[in-house]
Amino acid sequence: MDKSQLQLAGLSVAILAVNGFEQAEMTDPRKALDEAGAKTTLISMNHGQVQGFHHDQPADKFDVQMTLEEAEPKDFDAVLLPGGVMNADQIRMSSHAQKFVQAMDREGKPVAVICHGSWLLVSAGLAQGRKLTSWPSLQDDLRNAGAQWVDDQVVVDRNWVSSRKPADIPAFNRELLKLIASRAQAHA
């Protein structure tokens, strides 16, 4: 599928993040989605702003457009889960975030996850029987949750696309756009 086929106009992508997310894992995929015509919505626990990080150093702040309580999975075509240890550790405990990803997965909508973001999928009870990659330190968590963990740059498993780290973002973005475009074409 070439870039001309990856027009995502009219599609809406939820981005779930709280303070401490790995900034590049949100901003780079968001830019790719926006450039392809998708509408992205940054969703967090509270209104205001969320703090991005470059590894363990504070980076930029971003305006939250909707809270997890307000967000309705039916209003979105896909969800992006950036990593960052602090972000992933906090958001995985949110029942609203868990219910959101459960609903997205139940509908077969694309779930894009990178680095530590897969902790939310574990806590939501979705990892069983799935194949994915993540930051290497999560491999035991994922395997213990019944997932098949692999150390690959990017993994596509049905409606999921996963990557390990910021260096994988170009491959992640390519597969993310293809996955969303192919699902949109199948439901057109």
Give the residue numbers marked as catalytic. Answer: 115-116
Q: Is 38 left (phi over 0), alpha (psi -120 to 50) or beta?
A: beta
Residue with tokens 């199948």: 186
Do residues 136 and 102 touch, judged by C-beta distance below 8 A?
A: no
